[in-house]
Amino acid sequence: MNYYGFTDKGKIRKSNQDRFLITCSKDGSLLLAAVCDGMGGASGGETASSIAVNTVESAFSDFCEKGEKVKNCGTFLTDAVSKANRSIYNVAVQTPSLEGMGTTFVGFIACKNKITIANVGDSRAYHISEDGITQLTTDHSLINEMIQQGSITPLEAVSHPVKNVITRALGVEPSVKCDTYTAEIKSGEYILLCSDGLTEAVSEPEIHFEVCTNDSVEAACKSLADIANSRGGHDNITIVICAF
């Protein structure tokens, strides 16, 4: 298994509010990866996404130390996300300058060929193979709700004024609903996590091409970020790729 994470400030933003996490259990049997896209001003977004990855990483360490069974991965992820949500919310309540801060979260635990995924917000998880690319998560965004309701088309969504409005985030409310998914993955396939700084600028077919044709997951991450930046780099760009 090979993996790599990369984050870039982009060309417009003054700071990088994205954070990512990649860590393994000591015995190498479990891999945890996550991407968070913070919001609420530079200090707020950075704080929220940092709290999220730090809280989940600490929870994962405890999970591994206790020797929890793999079948509990889904419960672990939802509990860890809930804990991160409470931590962000409590800090925001206690710090007026951070009021309203929050972050997206998308992450997975991999054990052999089984993937357990959790997400809140519009950062995404993709399954990539030679045959194609499939989004595994559902965006918690106003624009996705409008598409699902049939009030706009996916093409109209590209330039719609509310395309960046998310309907769920960690830290905004005392509790948050986290969606979980499971997937089977084969040797030679990939899981990609990313913030919307990538998907706003680079199409799914282009993501598929770069992942499958680059020599390494590191090269694929950097190539994808370069493409997003070449098209304006309007947002922070974060990508994690795991090759199985």
User: What is the pLDDT confidence band of residue 5, given thresholds at 50, 70 and 90?
Assistant: very high
CATH class of segment(s) 17-191: alpha beta
**What's the whole-number mean pLDDT along residues 205-212?**
98
Model confidence at 8, in pLDDT bands (50, 70, 90)? very high
Report which of 202, 183, 179 is spatially closest to residue 128, judged by C-alpha positions.
183
> What mean pLDDT comes out for the span 54-78?
86
Asked whether residue 173 carries a pLDDT value surpassing 70, the answer given is: yes
Question: How far, in whole angstroms, is CA 165 from its chain's centroid?
Answer: 16
Identify the residue with better confidence: 236 or 154: 236
pLDDT in tens, 182-201: 999 999 999 999 999 999 99
Task: Select from 113, 170, 162 the least CA-distant residue to 141.
Answer: 162
Answer for the pair 7, 238: CB distance below 8 angstroms, yes or no.
yes
pLDDT over threshold 90, residue 222: yes
Confidence of residue 69 (pLDDT cuts 50, 70, 90): low
What pLDDT score does 86 carry? 98
CB atoms within 10 A of CB 41: 16
Query: Residue 30 — pLDDT band, cuts 50, 70, 90?
Result: very high
Which amino acid, one-letter code, is at 86?
R
pTM for the complete prediction? 0.92
Per-residue pLDDT, 163 = 67
Query: What pLDDT was estimated at residue 43?
Result: 84
SS3 per residue for the chain: CEEEEEEECCCCCCCCCEEEEEEECCCCCCEEEEEEEEECHHHHHHHHHHHHHHHHHHHHHHHHHCCCCHHHHHHHHHHHHHHHHHHHHHHHHHCHHHCCCEECEEEEEEECCEEEEEEECCCEEEEEECCEEEECCCCCEHHHHHHHHCCCCHHHHCCCCCCCCECCCECCCCCCCCEEEEEECCCCCEEEEECHHHHCCCCHHHHHHHHHHCCCHHHHHHHHHHHHHHCCCCCCEEEEEEEC
Pick the more confident residue, 117 or 66: 117
**Residue type at position 167:** T
List pLDDT tens digits, range 142-161: 777 677 777 777 766 666 66
Residue 192 burial by CB count (10 A; 0-12/13-18/19+): exposed, middle or buried? buried
pLDDT tens column, 104-125: 999 999 998 899 999 999 999 9
